Structure 1
Amino acid sequence: MAEQTWFAELYDRCYKSLVLTAYAMTNDLGVAEEITQEAFAVAYGRQGRVFRTDSPEAWLRTVVLNLARRRFRRRATLDRILRRQQAEPPPPAAPPGEHLDLHEAIRGLGQEHRAVVVLHYLADLPVEEVAAILGVPVGTVKSRLARARAALADRLRTEVDHV
């Protein structure tokens, strides 16, 4: 299979999943699409390397997560430099489909917990692969998942109680 055809098929197969990953990390669909496009641009420039990896999708997902983290750090740095009061951001566009309360609760998690939830539950990756992507031990992923589940259960229970 030619690398050009392979890359187009990789894009078709992975784009939506990677946007979902980026969206869960950034809370902004437009930014998530930009990050995903940037990740594919990086991959396109390194097609030979990506083609030879065991899991091109995992390689791309790592790039997406790194780009999302970098964007978060830059934004935090800019906010500190400008010493702005963090105004309440506009509510993000609702993700397609059901379970809007769950998506809202996931967005409320801290970045580390949100990353493991998105990768394990939404992207359906095994704990070992999540650990490899994030560069942390498997035990750390399991611990973050447990804490995230507890936080989500508490948050969702509170939302149900208020309804």
Structure 2
Amino acid sequence: MTEEEFTEFYRHSVRRLTGQLYVVTGDLHEAQDVVQEAFVRAWGHRRGLDRELAPEAWVRTVAGRLAISRWRRARTAARAWRRHGETPEVDGPDPASVDLARALRQLTERQRLCAALFYVCDLPVDRIAAETGLAPGTVKAHLSRARAALARQLDHPTELREHSDDLH
């Protein structure tokens, strides 16, 4: 089957196969996924599809088997979860963490990267410069700007300045 023939085959059968698998799975997204995966596999076997009497049946069979495999995996996973009991409830993030995450998103990508490497990974400026390909002075500038922006947004300037002495 040539690329053009396969494209035509796909065009004429994808909706029909998706509808058929939707009836089997009861889930449109699952049906779309398994049909697409089956077509991907058919693409790899398209030369052999020439010899098939019904390439659509081949794709339908593969899609059906994929759907059954996914169903079995989901069923096994559900059993495993039930065996381990209920999951413990986890408290959501505290308001300060939410504020910090929001403030970090306001930083530029480089400021956020430099701040994370310095404050979270506890790397010195020279190491940050080596890892990012920035000059040490540029890293210091990004850290300074990040601290200033975070201080303005979080209104806690003293907490952020504690580490500023480490820059020098």
TM-score (norm 2): 0.47
Structure label with greater radius of gyration:
2
Q: Which has the higher contact order (CA 8 A, sep 6+)?
A: 1
